[in-house]
Every structure is written in structure tokens, then in C-alpha cells.
Amino acid sequence: MTQTAANHIRLDPLFGIGTLLFVPWAGILIGMVIRYREMFPSFAIIGSFMMFGWVILLWTRLRRYPLTVQDRLIRLEEKLRYQRLWLGDEDRLTLSQIIALRFASDQELPALIERTVRDTLTPKQIKQAITMWRPDTLRV
């Protein structure tokens, strides 16, 4: 299948399933605290909620770190691409614009960069403006 602005987003199903498992866990934890509040010492209740909060924080951070590394690698790849095409415009673009511009073909990239800088296009607008899509199938 050809990649386009409409179908380029990839999701990690295991991350989504894992996130959905937190909802019943929170419900069970809250239900136990309400139902058995006389049996639980207060430190156990507080500790349970702290552990739950820590796991949620860990889960979100574990997802964010690889995405940050991917963004840095995309920025480096695009910087090398701009040098190869004799474009020195990466300093005028934000990281999110560079990430969106990676889908543009080499032929339309210079004009799209100029338009992005001139009109301050958002990543979504950049992706919609691309006519010759250059797929990136490795990003999750």
C-alpha cells in the first residue's frame, strides 16, 4: 500500500493494550480501598496508590523516550538530506516541521520548505501539501 498523509500514522497495538489494562487495575484498586478500608492500614492504601502512579509514569516515559530518539534521528537524517540537496534551511524550521517534511520527495522539498517558512505551516498542513509522498515505514 502506498503511504499518504491519510494513512501514514502507525500505532503500537501492544502499547494500547497495555494502557487499557491500567483502567481495570485502577478500578480494582479503588474498589478494594473503598470496600476494605477498615482492613487496610492507611500506609498500605497510600503505598498502593503511589505504586499505581509510579507504574503509569513509567509506562508513559518508556513510550516517550524511544519517540524522542526517533525524532533526533529524523532530524539528523533530514540535515544530511538537506546538505545533499544543497539546502541550508534546517535552522529556519522547527523540529515538528522537519519531521513532517521528511515525507516530501526530493523534487518538491525545496519549494515546500520555502512555503513552510513563509506561511508557518503546521505539520498537518505540510503533510497535506505533499504531492509526491516519500514513505517512512519504520516509525512507530
Judged on CB neighbours under 10 Å (0-12, 13-18, 19+), 16 is exposed
Q: Are 78 and 98 in contact (CB under 8 A)?
A: yes
- Encode pLDDT of 47-62 as tens digits: 777 788 888 888 888 8
Cα 103 from Cα 15, distance rounded (Å): 25
Model pTM greater than 0.75? Answer: no
Cα 101 from Cα 116, distance rounded (Å): 9
- Encode pLDDT of 21-43 as tens digits: 777 877 887 787 777 777 767 76
